[in-house]
Structure 1
Amino acid sequence: MILFIKLLLAHLLGDFIWQPNSWVADKETKKHKSVYLYVHILLHGVLAAILAGEISFIPYAVLIAVTHGIVDLIKLNFQKAKTKRTWFVVDQIAHVLILIGVVLLYQNKTIVNFWSDNEFWILITGIILVTKPSSIFIKTIISIWSPENQISQKDNSLASAGNYIGILERLLVVCFILTAHFEAIGFLLAAKSIFRFGDLKEAKDRKLTEYVMIGTLISFGIAIIAGLLVQALLLQLP
């Protein structure tokens, strides 16, 4: 289990945290001719090898890197503007299944890890999951309903403020769950609703209101599920 969590953390870092938008754009334009595609593949292999913390895992890290590149190439060559969301989901599912397969191949081997604090790996993976990866996931899912014409008419907010607010609220939700303060989640949701009420009332647009509500509920839902999973994994530790 802990090996899979480490590999999942490597995937989150390589696919979301340390992959700038400029790399993504370059890959989508040049596909297999993009230098950043191969840098991205190498990064995944290196991260997997480092986080596994065992020399004998290096061939498996190479396997992860190669298969990651193959999946990315398939997505880059087959996705269209209308199917980007679908390919994003398929791509991520494929990567996770590959990680599971690698763990199953390696499960009969003993990993003597110099980073043996299992609580740390579970916590850091949960934290990373509810930051940028969740933001990208939410944005991808709700983009089909995005009322862009309403948002663009009046945009006086700080740059990327909504993104950072979402990340902070999810981190707080996870923190509240791990410290057994579930009532604070309701307080946080109520506080956000109060601050949002003015904007939604002024907009007088039902679609914008529904868009904000969907995004908020998905964000809180992801955070709650992540927090409960982290809590359950921590309770299973000896």
Structure 2
Amino acid sequence: MILFIKLLLAHLIGDFMLQPTRWVIHKEANKVKSKYLYFHTLVHFLLVILLLWDIGYWKLALVISVSHFTIDLLKLYASNWIKKNSVLFFIDQAFHIIVLYICAYNSNLVEHTVALFQHVNWALVTAVVFVTYPAAVVMGKLLEGFSDQIQIDHKSLPNAGKYIGIIERLFVLLFIIIGRWEVIGLLITAKSVFRFNDLKESNNRKLTEYILIGTLLSFGIAILTGFVFITMRGGL
């Protein structure tokens, strides 16, 4: 485990702290001809050696740095087909972490992976997944009759309300699981304060009622999910 953690730390430092924006821009413009692509690869090699503090790991560092170079290069050329940088970013990071995992547990990769899946708390995974998009869909259906009566604010960010709801439900679920109910009250208060000025300026009673219903429904779904998870965990 400590080996994987050190490799991950080296990756985080190399990719986010020791990679200036001008390097990124130069790589995107020049791709394989960019000198910074090679500098970036060398940085990762040196970081692995430094954090492991053992020159005997040079082969491991070489494998990681070469794979990092390959993945970054593929990402640069994939940008011609995939226009969303966020999608490329997460795919790129996922492949980097998979390589680090394989390198850290190469001696017992299959056994460790099987054991890892055997220890997954599937009830928790299900609860987390439910309070994200499935709960958003459920809320959309329940509020469908009200949403038709609300004038859309074109100044709002696209889907901002949905993502705010997902994040708040994840927080509520977390606080219930760790038994910190008082923090949920603070979360409700914080959201009310942020919403107060908007509702005051709009002077729209229907919008106020709609947001209130949506907020209570969102928190209610998260709390109910938390109760179900705790009940299931107690029965396991």
Taking structure 2 as the reference length, the TM-score comes to 0.50
- Mapped to 2, the partners of 1:199 and 1:34 lie a distance apart of 49
Q: In structure 2, what is the equivalent of residue 88 of structure 1?
A: 89
- Mapped to 2, the partners of 1:8 and 1:92 lie a distance apart of 11
- Mapped to 1, the partners of 2:190 and 2:35 lie a distance apart of 42
Deviation by residue 1:125-184 (Cα, 9 ceiling, x = unmatched): xxxxxxxxxxxxxxxxxxxxxx99767xxxxxxxxxxxxxxxxxxxxx9xx99xx78346
The verdict on how the C-alpha distance between 1:187 and 1:51 changes in structure 2, with shifts beyond 3 A counting, is farther
Structural RMSD (CA): 3.6
Deviation at 1:188, TM superposition (A): 5.4
Structure 1 segment 63-78 matched on structure 2, within 5 A: 63-78=63-78
Q: In structure 2, what is the equivalent of residue 60 of structure 1?
A: 60
1:103 and 2:104 are equivalent in the alignment: yes
Deviation at 1:91, TM superposition (A): 0.8
Q: Unaligned stretches of 5+ in structure 2?
A: 110-152, 158-170, 212-236
Structure 2 counterpart of 1:193, which letter?
A: K
Deviation at 1:76, TM superposition (A): 0.1
Deviation at 1:72, TM superposition (A): 0.2
1:6 and 2:6 are equivalent in the alignment: yes
Q: Unaligned stretches of 5+ in structure 1?
A: 109-146, 152-172, 211-238
| Secondary structure in structure 1 of the residue aligned to 2:83 | helix
- Mapped to 2, the partners of 1:25 and 1:187 lie a distance apart of 44
Is the Cα contact below 8 Å between 2:27 and 2:37 reproduced in 1? yes
Structure 1 counterpart of 2:17, which letter?
A: I
Q: In structure 1, what is the equivalent of residue 28 of structure 2?
A: 28
Q: Percent identity, please.
A: 34
- Mapped to 2, the partners of 1:187 and 1:55 lie a distance apart of 53
- Mapped to 2, the partners of 1:81 and 1:53 lie a distance apart of 39
Q: In structure 2, what is the equivalent of residue 213 of structure 1?
A: none
Is the Cα contact below 8 Å between 2:64 and 2:99 reproduced in 1? yes
Structure 1 counterpart of 2:88, which letter?
A: W
- Mapped to 2, the partners of 1:17 and 1:188 lie a distance apart of 33
Q: In structure 2, what is the equivalent of residue 45 of structure 1?
A: 45
Greater Cα shift, 61-70 or 21-30 = 21-30
- Mapped to 2, the partners of 1:196 and 1:91 lie a distance apart of 35
Deviation at 1:102, TM superposition (A): 1.1
The verdict on how the C-alpha distance between 1:75 and 1:107 changes in structure 2, with shifts beyond 3 A counting, is same
Taking structure 1 as the reference length, the TM-score comes to 0.50
- Mapped to 2, the partners of 1:71 and 1:107 lie a distance apart of 24
The verdict on how the C-alpha distance between 1:189 and 1:88 changes in structure 2, with shifts beyond 3 A counting, is same
Structure 2 counterpart of 1:84, which letter?
A: N
The verdict on how the C-alpha distance between 1:82 and 1:202 changes in structure 2, with shifts beyond 3 A counting, is farther
- Mapped to 1, the partners of 2:63 and 2:34 lie a distance apart of 21
Deviation at 1:53, TM superposition (A): 2.1
Deviation by residue 1:78-104 (Cα, 9 ceiling, x = unmatched): 114624232222211110111011112
